[in-house]
Amino acid sequence: MISTPDREAACTLINEAVNAGARRHQACIELGLTLRTLERWTQGGAVKSDGRPGASRPVPRNKLSETERTQVLALVNEPRFASLPPTQIVPILADEGTYLASESSFYRLLREADCQHHRGRAKAPAARAIPRQCAKAPNELWSWDISYLPGPVQGIHFFLYLVLDVYSRKIIAHEVQAEESGECAASLIEQACAREGIHGTPLVLHQDNGSPMKASTFVAKLDELGIRRSYSRPGVSDDNPYSESLFRTCKYCPEYPGAFETIEEARTWMLRFVRWYNTEHKHRNLKFVSPAERHERQDVAIFAHRISVYEQARSKHPERWSKDIRNWSAPTEVWLNRPAEDAGSAPQREAA
């Protein structure tokens, strides 16, 4: 609700703008109001105060009486109903020929009486903070996940482990295993760190909440390697977009066979895909350089050469250029869940 002094100040500003030649509708928009709101405020020539606080509101005809409310609360606290939710209490009462209120009314009365609490041995749901990570160079932020690879018959799968560098989009390490386990994941991360020379260098590994990611063997290995863990929020696949997008790129490429007869066949195909993706694939969000070129910092020279080519083309035919040449520069930082205040400067999601 807007107080009367604030209403009067807004009306004064709008009138001053109108007297200066502005349109009343546009002046209202500048203050975040509608013309209809201004007309309602100034009915009768004077600024009216908000009438909602003192308004007379009749009691809804369908409101439960105090007797009925007391009866509902007494009923749900009976020993036979003490451990049951309203979704089960109401049907049981209906079978007994009794109807007191709807399930939503039962829940509302329980909340008002402070009787609606988490019960049971399971942990109560808790809000999780949005994971926000930023990479400004290779080997600062990795993302990894596990996906199914269809096997020879329906119901049999192989497990694809992929570790991706978020800054360069390079596939750092991959494995195709017959099982999903923390031991396989720990071995893969250890090999990836040895290959990239990660020894005491600050590194964040982002992942979802699968059992291999939370396995004690895997967690112990990350702690041993000095890798800081980052987890997605439960049930939010968008918190790990780079790995999810990479899996889609893998499984939707034209050469993807759809199913593999043996695990050796899956490993051979994945090795060929990783080599193509890292060295030949021109990544759209990297301004069309390969992940390996970005990872090895060769993109700077490539962009400089492209700028030189475009400048020469513009100097040769300036009449064909109405604006500046194409922007050949990749982002200097890559975010996982960019903060809202920076969202306007770059897209929040970038394909892997």
Q: What is the pLDDT of residues 314-347, one digit of tens each?
A: 999 999 988 899 999 888 999 999 988 665 544 4
Q: Is there a domain that residue 24 lies in?
A: yes
Q: Is there a domain that residue 31 lies in?
A: yes
Asked if pLDDT for residue 55 goes beyond 60, the answer is yes
Q: Is residue 183 helix, strand or coil?
A: helix
The pTM is what?
Answer: 0.68
| Pairwise CA distance, residues 188 & 192, whole Å | 6
| Pairwise CA distance, residues 334 & 247, whole Å | 19
pLDDT value for 349: 44
**What is the chain's mean pLDDT, rounded?**
91
In this structure, the answer to whether residues 164 and 241 fall within a common structural domain is: yes
In this structure, the answer to whether residues 193 and 139 fall within a common structural domain is: yes
In this structure, the answer to whether residues 110 and 149 fall within a common structural domain is: no
If one counts the domains in the chain, the total is 3
Between residues 56 and 342, which one has the greater pLDDT? 56
* Tokens of residue 140, six digits: 């600062």
In this structure, the answer to whether residues 141 and 265 fall within a common structural domain is: yes
Q: For residue 88, what is the enclosing H or E element? A: helix 86-95
Q: Is there a domain that residue 192 lies in?
A: yes
pLDDT value for 343: 54
In this structure, the answer to whether residues 242 and 104 fall within a common structural domain is: no
In this structure, the answer to whether residues 161 and 191 fall within a common structural domain is: yes
| Pairwise CA distance, residues 304 & 170, whole Å | 22
> In CATH, what number is assigned to the domain containing residue 180?
3.30.420.10
20-37 as b/e, with b when 16 or more CB fall inside 10 Å? eeeeeeebbeeeebeeee
173-183 as b/e, with b when 16 or more CB fall inside 10 Å? bbbbbeebbbe
pLDDT value for 199: 79
Residue carrying structure tokens 């329906």: 154
In this structure, the answer to whether residues 195 and 247 fall within a common structural domain is: yes
DSSP 10-75: HHHHHHHHHHTT--HHHHHHHTT--HHHHHHHTTTSSPPPP-STT---PPPTTPPPHHHHHHHHHH
In this structure, the answer to whether residues 262 and 183 fall within a common structural domain is: yes
Q: Is there a domain that residue 209 lies in?
A: yes
Contact present, 267 and 149 (Cβ < 8 Å):
no
Instruction: For residue range 242-284, list pLDDT tens digits in order.
Output: 999 999 999 999 999 999 999 999 999 999 999 999 999 999 9
pLDDT value for 74: 93
Q: How would residue 122 be classed by pLDDT, with cut points 50, 70 and 90? A: confident
For 142, the domain range is 133-286
Beta bridge partners, 164, equal 143, 171
Nearest to 196 by CA among 139, 238, 145: 139
Q: For residue 150, what is the enclosing H or E element? A: strand 141-150
